[in-house]
Amino acid sequence: MAVVGVLALQGSYNEHMAALRRIGAKGVEVRKAEQLGAIDSLIIPGGESTTMAKLANYHNLFPALREFVGAGKPVWGTCAGLIFLANKAVGQKSGGQELVGGLDCTVHRNFFGSQLQSFETELSVPMLAEKEGGSNICRGVFIRAPAILEVGPDVEVLADCPVPAGRPSITISAEGAEDEVYSKDRVIVAVRQGNILATAFHPELTSDSRWHRLFLDMDKDSQAKAFSALSLSTSSRDVEGGSKNKPLDLPIFE
């Protein structure tokens, strides 16, 4: 069974662990860099992103987290975890915060406002329904939530939602270009890019397990590709050496 790590520095890691248990997955809490070597995938939960970054710095986790993402292992960031994984974040506190990066997007740290502006809404998620079954709608729980302002060409948008009425204007700053005011009537709240899944909302706070199942499927796909590559490599060496040995009998993940 694949082992799913949940970064347990602060935030809703207990809720993610419970969600994994409900679907029969093995989850472990991760607090130290050396623990990353014993897991197959990683969830970075929601919480207070600045506090999480300070704790990650204290435990010297950022280099190991970047290496984990760069190795192609599945990583899912929810809310603050989305901010961690973004290549660029705006709307941060004075001095900013360190990011893991890897996700080609610009995220606004507090797009939807303060804790008092937290809300729930229904999101259209046809891809999730196609992959995991069920309704084309899922419940999105947004708690002082970020949002994705821009994405790169390799990023697949999985969900968006309307920009709340009366939302203060947001300015996007770009190096070497004039500042641009975000004027769209909808904003991106869920994406996937390769081995990275990111949601601005909290699926772990609902009874809908499909997002966790989708992430587990990403883990299975990653392991299947790794086993396939190993099998091909072994077969090539056998052919080159004139060996008549059969390839390794490797498990198949469906």
How many angstroms separate the CA atoms of 56 and 214, rounded? 26
- Identify the pLDDT of residue 240: 45
Mean pLDDT calculated for residue range 178-182: 68
- Identify the pLDDT of residue 178: 56
Confidence tier at 175 by pLDDT (50, 70, 90): low
Give 3-state DSSP helix, strand, coil % of the chain, rounded to 5: 35, 25, 40
Q: What is the DSSP letter of 191?
A: E
Annotated binding residue 143 = yes
Domains defined for the chain, CATH in brackets:
3-236 (3.40.50.880)
The pLDDT tens digits of the residues spanning 33-55 come to 999 999 999 999 999 988 999 99
Annotated binding residue 49 = yes
Name the percent of the chain lying above pLDDT 90.
67
Residues in the chain: 254
Catalytic residue annotation: 79, 202, 204
Residue-averaged pLDDT of the chain: 85
Cβ proximity of 81 and 10 under 8 Å: no
Whether the per-residue pLDDT at 114 is higher than 70: the answer is yes
Whether the per-residue pLDDT at 108 is higher than 70: the answer is yes
Tokens, residue 10: 């602060």
184 compared with 73, residue with greater pLDDT: 73
Whether the per-residue pLDDT at 235 is higher than 70: the answer is no
Whether the per-residue pLDDT at 250 is higher than 50: the answer is no
- Identify the pLDDT of residue 252: 29
The pLDDT tens digits of the residues spanning 92-102 come to 766 678 999 99
pTM of the model: 0.84
Tokens, residue 103: 């996700």
Annotated binding residue 83 = no
- Identify the pLDDT of residue 91: 80
Cβ proximity of 9 and 45 under 8 Å: no
How many angstroms separate the CA atoms of 146 and 199, rounded? 9
Annotated binding residue 47 = yes
